[in-house]
Amino acid sequence: MNINKSSQYEKMKLFKNTHKGQRCFIVATGPSLTIDDLEKLKNETTISMNSICLSFDETDWRPTYYGIQDVKVFNLLENSIEKYDLKNKFISDSISKEKNILDGYFVFPLNYLNHNTFHKNYRTKFSNDSYSVVYDGYSITYSMIQLAVYMGFSEIYLVGVDCNYSINSAQHFKDYGLIEQSSEAVKRMISAFKEAKKFSERSQIKIYNATRGGMLEVFERVNLDEVLSTNKELEELREKTI
């Protein structure tokens, strides 16, 4: 209702439409991601999450924005997160309440809907106002897409979103002790991404999947190297024109 000006969510307003009309890369932590990918993204605006901080000893790339929403994941990674000087860190209110931390973080209101109980109808919602609410979509990536929309990005590229939790192979870019055992996990995530696609089509926002392989076929696939190469060529042409 915008009544409590001192609420923990108030700082979220600082980010509304700050990147209007721009593009960003949401860097997830699927096993297809490589250190080389991170190096290539150094000159791009990036939003990353969770265990990406475990790669920082191998690269000087840092995400423009970093997000984490699950208390259990935060507990596993807290020391690694605090080790590095990340300027824009977003946490869910479920973390801020349980850990009693606010300093150094921007807190977003996460609505889990009824996702904490088992049910067969995988339904979620999509929010374009992260100050008011961010809806759980069974993955932190879904929340970061909502955050990107709130910031005004009109082109969103997903990298490392494998959507594959096979117990017979690596589930993450960097292992941190968390293994998804549920065979329903992928179905839940894909059902949420379909909601993101519906919203993007209504709002003329482009979401592309620049992941190598994986099981996410909801969004149009593009080649990361080609996307970055095209942008570099445009920049060089613009410099010559100037």
Q: What does the pLDDT look like over 172-191, one tens digit per residue?
A: 777 776 666 567 888 999 99
Mean pLDDT for the stretch of residues 199-207: 97
Mean pLDDT for the stretch of residues 137-144: 96
What pLDDT band is residue 237 in, cutting at 50, 70 and 90? very low
pLDDT at 173: 72
Q: DSSP of the chain, one letter per residue?
A: ----TTSTTGGGGGGTTTTTT-EEEEE---TT--HHHHHHTTTS-EEEEGGGGGGTTT-S---SEEEE--HHHHHHHHHHHHHS--S-EEEEHHHHHHHT--TT-EEE-EE-TTTTS--S-------S-TTT-EE--SSHHHHHHHHHHHTT-SEEEEES------TTS--SSS--S-----TTHHHHHHHHHHHHHHHHHHHT-EEEE--SSSS--SSEE--HHHHHHHHHHHHHHHHHH-
Cβ contacts of 107 within 8 Å, gap of 6 or more? 8, 9, 11, 12, 90, 91, 92, 93, 96
Residue 234 has pLDDT above 60, yes or no: no
Mean pLDDT for the stretch of residues 51-74: 96
pLDDT at 170: 66
Q: Domains (ranges, CATH) in the chain?
A: 10-241 (3.90.1480)
Mean pLDDT for the stretch of residues 150-170: 87
Q: What is the pTM of this model?
A: 0.90
What pLDDT band is residue 235 in, cutting at 50, 70 and 90? low
pLDDT at 102: 85
Q: What is the mean pLDDT of the chain?
A: 90
Cβ contacts of 31 within 8 Å, gap of 6 or more? 162, 164, 169, 170, 171, 172, 173
Q: What does the pLDDT look like over 91-115, one tens digit per residue?
A: 999 999 999 988 899 999 999 998 8
